[in-house]
Amino acid sequence: MRKQERYEGIIEWFSQNMPVAESELRYDNPYQLLVSVILSAQCTDKRVNMTTPALFEKYPVPELMAEAEPEEVYQYIKSISYPNSKARNLVGMARKLVSEFGSVVPDDVDQLQKLPGVGRKTANVVAAVIYNKFVMPVDTHVFRVSARIGLTRGAKTPLQTELQLTKHIPAELLPTAHHWLILHGRYVCTARKPHCERCGIARWCKYLEKNPPAGEAVNDEK
């Protein structure tokens, strides 16, 4: 199967069956999403959503978090992975957001990456989710799923994955396609054992081409 055919089939299926795909992080404004995405690094959205209500009640605006010390923030996020470093990053982010950006979360990926704790993936998530920028955030789900189903080939880094995906996915679909791949990886194309029997994009999946169900031959024409 040609790569373009694979992309077209997968995009069409998701467009028809998952026209609305959104972040599972709970937030009310750009500041809260930024905090949540920083916390979500190597941590589940479910755990982050359990943690942030008390954190946002204590620090509802960046000005209040900027006045805190990392040790204080740590008490609210200690159930999160790497709480010490994340507490430092959150306080540093809030202070810089207040002092250099007037407490407004920037919409530019490069500007976002100037904030402590914000790498390219986090910046892309905020830019895509809040500002609908035509960018492709690559987390572990996107990296893994795009390679498994055959959307990317030979990508060794998240940036290489990002570049391949943005080359083939229409720009206006990138913010939504990011969530398609995340949700597919989270609930269907899971890491240890993909649920191919209930996968809507199975007919375009490279993994299934190479690993057909027992007793079934590979269809080279599909």
Q: Which pLDDT tens digit goes with each residue over 33-76?
A: 999 999 999 999 999 999 999 999 999 999 999 999 999 999 99
pTM of the model: 0.89
**pLDDT value of position 220:** 39
Share above pLDDT 70 across residues of the chain, in percent, rounded to a whole number:
95
Catalytic residues: 121, 139
Does 83 score more than 90 pLDDT?
A: yes
Cβ partners under 8 Å of residue 136, min gap 6 = 124, 128, 142, 162, 165, 166, 169, 174, 177, 178
Q: Which pLDDT tens digit goes with each residue over 105-150?
A: 999 999 999 999 999 999 999 999 999 999 999 999 999 999 999 9
